[in-house]
Amino acid sequence: MMNESKRQQKVARLLQKDLSDIIHKDKMGIFGSSFVTVAAVGVTPDLSIARVYLSMFMENKEELLEKINHHKSEIRRELGNKIGKQVRIVPDLQFFIDELEERAARIDKLIDDLNIPPADEDKET
């Protein structure tokens, strides 16, 4: 997502905002009581594919991801209703679990678990 064009970045922001709205309203009942956020969206240079990274605070992430992928066409259709006037084609959606939060939590735990003896105060001699 580093070398994206201005157009890619603009479309990615639009998709992130509208997909977040779709997930939040959850008219299709896909997400239930799960807490899901759209962490990031990356768009291919031809704007035909959007990679959507979802942050999920729950145990069975893979199961929910499977359910989301099963309902991908309905999500894309609803997205098309929202952004149809702003883009030529509604990109194909690819959903992924964003593991950045999880990795950060693991690193925090590792740091917290380090047994570092306190530094000796400068001793006056």
SS (H, E, C) the chain: CCCCCHHHHHHHHHHHHHHHHHHHHCCCCCCCCCCEEEEEEEECCCCCEEEEEEEECCCCHHHHHHHHHHCHHHHHHHHHHHHCCCCCCCCEEEEEECCHHHHHHHHHHHHHHCCCCCCCCCCCC
| 63 domain-assigned | yes
Share of the chain above pLDDT 70, in %: 93
Number of domains the chain is built from: 1
pLDDT computed for residue 33 by the predictor = 77
Task: Provide the pLDDT confidence category of residue 105 given band limits of 50, 70 and 90.
Answer: confident
| 121 domain-assigned | no
| 125 domain-assigned | no
CATH number of the domain where residue 104 is located: 3.30.300.20
| 1 domain-assigned | no
pLDDT computed for residue 96 by the predictor = 93
Structural domain of residue 87, as residue ranges?
A: 6-113
The pTM of the full predicted model, rounded to 2 decimals, is: 0.75
| 124 domain-assigned | no
pLDDT computed for residue 36 by the predictor = 87
Q: What is the pLDDT of residues 25-70, one digit of tens each?
A: 887 777 777 888 899 999 999 999 999 999 887 778 888 899 999 9
| 80 domain-assigned | yes
Q: What is the pLDDT of residues 87-103, one digit of tens each?
A: 888 999 999 998 776 67
| 118 domain-assigned | no
| 20 domain-assigned | yes
